[in-house]
Chains A and B, each alone.
Chain A
Amino acid sequence: MMGIITTISTWLIPCFIAVVLIVSTWKRVPAYETFVEGGKDGVRMAFSLLPFLVGMIVAISILRSSGALEAFIQLISPLLIKIGVPPDIIPLALVRPISGTAALGMTTELISTHGPDSFIGRLASTMQGSTDTTLYILTVYFGAVGIRKMRYALKVGLLADLVGIIASIIVVTLLFG
């Protein structure tokens, strides 16, 4: 089963590209010129994204490097342990929606200290895979197209993360616990 899925993953993109180019040539679309035209959009987008990413990433790194984020995690840890959250996983659960690189670093560290096949290792792996960095997605997607008023988007994103984190704890406990 896993083999099939990995094969699909590696074949999907090259095959998609081949289909696009065959169909466009057949329909007499100037493929190369259209590609270049679309690609120009990409350059513009990457540059318009830059200030948004710099702003967000710097603010997050100030919070992390000052020790404030860690202090906050320690402050609310006792409460989370009481409701059954494994203490080792708390930093990852709280950082996952804010910083992708920090979360990946924490997952790697948890896997290396507890072992990939331990309860914590499996939980960290599941948590890392089943939620995404809300703040990054919000910054990139809204930043690139110039959305100023986000309305309820952040609330929805963060609540979804919360559900994802709770779900991974429950699912991993039921299946591997």
Chain B
Amino acid sequence: MVNIIWAAMAVTGIVYAMFNGTMDEVNEALFESAEEAVTLSIGLISILVFWLGIMKVAEKAGILEFLSRMFRPIIIRLFPDIPKDHPAIGYILSNITANIFGLGNAATPMGIKAMEQMKELSGSDEASRSMITFLALNTSSLTIIPTTVISIRMQYDSVSPTEIVGTTIIATLISSVSALMIDRVFYYRSRRRKS
């Protein structure tokens, strides 16, 4: 699936450029965006190193386990195929908490770590059920304080930069609950197909 989408995006762009006369722009974008992607990855190093370091300490000190025990009833319902005391639950919780408070920088490393733990559980290179649920939660965005948007609104002299927090929370809630439901529907459909 991703192979086709990836190739289709690039090929569509190139073929369109042939007729649209934008080949120069495409050439320029090719190298600029590759550089941009490398800068982005390098920028991630600092955050990843710091957070994975701290989280490793948290794991060894038993804090992740404590967290997961506290929220176990909710998480177990959302991720039924993760064993009760698995460290994955601690990382999932940390990712969700960081997301809720708009701390995207901290959320990404924890999310990756959670994925890694879930991959260990499934032991294959195929996305497992809980991985997709986790992804659905993340893509629907859990942010209740959109800090970036608020700062842009402040820059443009909004009378009330934070007035959109309410609408954002409602829209986020709707999209997250729907994401979980859509995820369930697809899961049961895929299981029915297998049997």
The chain B residue sitting closest to A69, CB to CB, is: B13
Which chain A residues numbered 69 to 118 have a C-beta less than 8 Å away from chain B?
Answer: 69, 71, 97, 104, 107-108, 111-112, 115-117
- With a cutoff of 8 Å between Cβ atoms, the chain A residues found around residue B30 in the complex are 58, 61-62
Would A168 and B171 be within 8 Å (CB), given that A9-B145, A153-B127 are in contact? Answer: yes
- With a cutoff of 8 Å between Cβ atoms, the chain B residues found around residue A156 in the complex are 132, 135-136, 139, 179, 182-183, 186
Please classify how large the interface on chain A is, using the bins under 10, 10 to 19, 20 to 34, 35 or more: 35 or more
Which chain A residues numbered 1 to 36 have a C-beta less than 8 Å away from chain B?
Answer: 2, 5-6, 8-9, 12-13, 17, 19-21, 23-24, 27, 29, 31, 34-36
Q: Does the CB pair B42–A54 fall under 8 Å?
A: no
A151 CB contact (under 8 Å) in B5, B28, B108, B132 = B132
Q: Does the CB pair A65–B22 fall under 8 Å?
A: yes
User: Digit string of B39-57 for contact with A (CB within 8 Å is 1, else 0)?
Assistant: 0111011011111111111
User: Digit string of B100-118 for contact with A (CB within 8 Å is 1, else 0)?
Assistant: 0111001011011101100
Is B76 engaged at the interface, CB distance under 8 Å to the other chain?
no
The chain A residue sitting closest to B163, CB to CB, is: A122
Query: Cα distance A116–B152 when bound, in Å?
Result: 9
B136 CB contact (under 8 Å) in A29, A55, A64, A157 = A157
- With a cutoff of 8 Å between Cβ atoms, the chain B residues found around residue A167 in the complex are 170-171, 174-175, 178
- With a cutoff of 8 Å between Cβ atoms, the chain A residues found around residue B119 in the complex are 145-147
Q: Does the CB pair A42–B167 fall under 8 Å?
A: no
Query: Cα distance A156–B133 when bound, in Å?
Result: 9
B131 CB contact (under 8 Å) in A35, A140, A153 = A153
Q: How far in angstroms is the closest Cβ of chain A from B20? A: 5
- With a cutoff of 8 Å between Cβ atoms, the chain A residues found around residue B141 in the complex are 129-132, 164
Q: Does the CB pair B167–A20 fall under 8 Å?
A: no
Q: Does the CB pair B9–A5 fall under 8 Å?
A: no
Q: Does the CB pair A130–B171 fall under 8 Å?
A: yes
Q: Does the CB pair A42–B51 fall under 8 Å?
A: yes
Q: Does the CB pair B139–A137 fall under 8 Å?
A: yes
A129 CB contact (under 8 Å) in B9, B126, B146, B179 = B146
Q: Does the CB pair B61–A137 fall under 8 Å?
A: no
- With a cutoff of 8 Å between Cβ atoms, the chain A residues found around residue B113 in the complex are 41
| Extra contacts besides A38-B54, A156-B186, A164-B175 (17): CB < 8 Å | A35-B54, A35-B57, A37-B56, A38-B57, A41-B113, A46-B48, A50-B38, A56-B37, A57-B40, A129-B149, A129-B164, A132-B143, A138-B139, A147-B126, A154-B5, A164-B140, A167-B178
Residues of A at the B interface (CB closer than 8 Å) are 2, 5-6, 8-9, 12-13, 17, 19-21, 23-24, 27, 29, 31, 34-43, 45-47, 49-50, 53-69, 71, 97, 104, 107-108, 111-112, 115-117, 121-122, 125-134, 137-138, 140-142, 144-157, 159-161, 163-164, 167-168, 171-172, 175-176
15 A-B pairs within 8 Å (CB atoms) are namely: A5-B145, A9-B103, A12-B97, A41-B52, A65-B13, A66-B22, A116-B158, A140-B112, A150-B127, A152-B186, A152-B189, A157-B135, A160-B178, A164-B141, A172-B167
